[in-house]
Structure 1
């Protein structure tokens, strides 16, 4: 049995014609000149909104936008987002200048069956981020049922993601359902061997993540600037590279825990170095035992890539977060792009399941042209990372609590 109810459960429970369905979406999308510049989150929630609309529900969308300080700020209004949504949904989208009270009620009452309305930024009210029960009740008065389709906001215990689920029958939307299934396949109940690829600049931002992964995966590839700290912890010289020397003991502790858990750690065996970090910089590949004092490590080398490729080919599940090098600047994108394309190829031929997430990860996979061939790429950012750390996500826990009641 699923840990959470889905739209299919909703459809079995009640007829939707004229039903007021509150949908928590993540419309916190980048915009420029009134246009959405990255529509990934819109495209993912569009399925839920369209499906509910087609069944005759009044679809009432809740979202935050930006970081207003609990009071209305014009720059954070959802009005431009509502207008920009119409081409993605293929239908008119109404807008309400408040998300609670008489204004919201009047606009929702005027909405026809099958209509879609975006309510103004929930963060215009201080009760949102305080997870205030009274604000949640005010939101809940707008609907008959609640659908959470914003996994990217599930790590926040806010009124529109957590407290509201105490007030209404609650269900997971299609995007939330897909995300939870993918994450369960990746780490909840994966097919072994499981290989995690973790990169990024600093160990300090991923201590909890690494600590959780060594207990769950069969092999852990560590790349990016954070790998330098692990190399230094093993007594290797890393030149002018990014290195958190105050975390050498932490790195050694993670390595020891991995050994105890039977998790193989794959660190670079050769690296690409340069004297400066800029596009087209003169670069050379050296062993990790021969990094010059006046150079910095900016990518993994060819031998390391072969080493990683071999481990990828033995895996049944790949979980990826973070680039293997300074992928934003060529030629230091080679490691990340090559490994990403290898995972994509192995996924495409059916050899493994691949799940990836995190802001830099998505950008790197897009650059590699590998995104479409991964089994699932999360656009959730912080929520994806906290899930990988083993942290309970309040928005998901609220849905699971409802499913048990």
Structure 2
């Protein structure tokens, strides 16, 4: 990778336009989850430490090029100030007079937040004139929003073509983690892919079977593969119309030397609710009136043995219906095993995706993985082998 970091840039006395993701949940004008804000603090602090003056750019919601007061970034200023431990000056627009006036008045040590970039139609269109208006405010561009890097927008891609550019600390951490997991991984390389539907992860599966040594498939996706092999999955969530595609994936995997692990035993129930009566049966013995809701204990043992021998793990998606006990057991057990191996220095573990983060948090092990990405769409597209415009622009 040829992108630069904050360490490579001379920032003293310069305005550093810093793209961040602070698209946080807000209720009644109050930020209810500061995770994304907390994650940008190292970047802002390091720019300040180098004498730079960080001007933060971000989107909030989907105003579609219109000024929507409820989507103003002004409401996140108190949470941002609390996280940074200092005051933040807010500019009522991200371009033009309001932005220029506030930025021109900046002094070393100060932080500015610009209004929602998506209040302008030029942002999502990656309009050159809009990108140039943003670029005119500063001397350096720093992208710390990996979660938005799969969008070719003016503040993520266009501006990087106009100013000396670098990756912020969060972007740097994401890229280094993903490079370690898929770019040049220590082998054996294992991937866990779960979730509801095969159809939403075709490109992901296609890319992974070319790269990983073992692919563990769980969740509703596993039911589709079992059904494709002629196994009755009862009333389980499954995409029966994807049987042909599932068979092709299995064939392609065997041809590329990738071992696919499907559940050998499963947890079934007649209804999906907390405390529902459940039992463990062989994967090929699901009654016609029951549904598969989790991988069984024998499968968990198999997964543990695979992880024990692995050097690198990529995880996207739960192994079962983890939202409700007892159907979270396989996901929690496998996550605990991965965390233990990571703690012992035997495994590089990288995970990402909304359900994945929620599942690892529920298991209480998210902090013990090598890296957990909160960048849902961008993380998935990277795993699919796609070029991310925001990253490519930094490399350019």
Q: TM-score, normalised by structure 2?
A: 0.99
Are the aligned partners of 2:34 and 2:79 in contact in 1 as well (CA < 8 Å)?
Answer: no
Distance 2:22 2:119 in 1: 15
Q: Residue 271 of structure 1 aligns with which residue?
A: 266
Q: Residue 8 of structure 2 aligns with which residue?
A: 9
Distance 1:3 1:177 in 2: 12
Distance 2:324 2:195 in 1: 14
Is the partner of 2:47 in helix, strand or coil? helix
Distance 1:359 1:221 in 2: 19
Q: CA deviation at 1:246?
A: 1.0
Distance 1:150 1:124 in 2: 18
Alignment equivalent of 2:245, drawn from 236, 250, 266:
250
Is the partner of 2:200 in helix, strand or coil? coil
Superposed CA RMSD: 0.9
Is the partner of 1:205 in helix, strand or coil? helix
Cα pair distance change 1:15/1:212, threshold 3 Å: closer
Alignment equivalent of 1:164, drawn from 132, 155, 159:
159
Alignment equivalent of 1:138, drawn from 133, 138, 148:
133
Q: Residue 229 of structure 1 aligns with which residue?
A: 224
Is the partner of 1:134 in helix, strand or coil? helix
Is the partner of 1:238 in helix, strand or coil? coil
Runs of at least 4 residues off by over 6 Å = none
**Counterparts in 2 of 1:5-404, with a 5 A limit?**
5-10=4-9, 14-17=10-13, 19-401=14-396
Are the aligned partners of 2:265 and 2:298 in contact in 1 as well (CA < 8 Å)?
Answer: yes
Aligned residue-pair number: 396
Write out per-residue CA displacement over residues 93-130 of structure 1, whole angstroms, 9 at most, x where no aligned residue: 11111000011001111222121111000000000000
Distance 2:366 2:290 in 1: 32
Q: Which runs of 5+ in 2 are unaligned?
A: none
Q: Which runs of 5+ in 1 are unaligned?
A: none
Write out per-residue CA displacement over residues 161-182 of structure 1, whole angstroms, 9 at most, x where no aligned residue: 0011111001011111111000
Are the aligned partners of 2:190 and 2:213 in contact in 1 as well (CA < 8 Å)?
Answer: yes
Is the partner of 2:199 in helix, strand or coil? coil
Q: CA deviation at 1:35?
A: 3.2
When structure 1 is superposed on structure 2, of 349-358 and 78-87 the one drifting more is: 78-87
Q: CA deviation at 1:15?
A: 4.4
Is the partner of 1:160 in helix, strand or coil? helix
Distance 1:233 1:189 in 2: 33
Are the aligned partners of 1:55 and 1:114 in contact in 2 as well (CA < 8 Å)?
Answer: no
Are the aligned partners of 2:11 and 2:47 in contact in 1 as well (CA < 8 Å)?
Answer: no
Are the aligned partners of 2:350 and 2:372 in contact in 1 as well (CA < 8 Å)?
Answer: yes
Write out per-residue CA displacement over residues 173-201 of structure 1, whole angstroms, 9 at most, x where no aligned residue: 11111110000000100000000000000
Are the aligned partners of 1:128 and 1:160 in contact in 2 as well (CA < 8 Å)?
Answer: yes
Q: CA deviation at 1:33?
A: 3.3
Q: TM-score, normalised by structure 1?
A: 0.96
Cα pair distance change 1:15/1:42, threshold 3 Å: closer
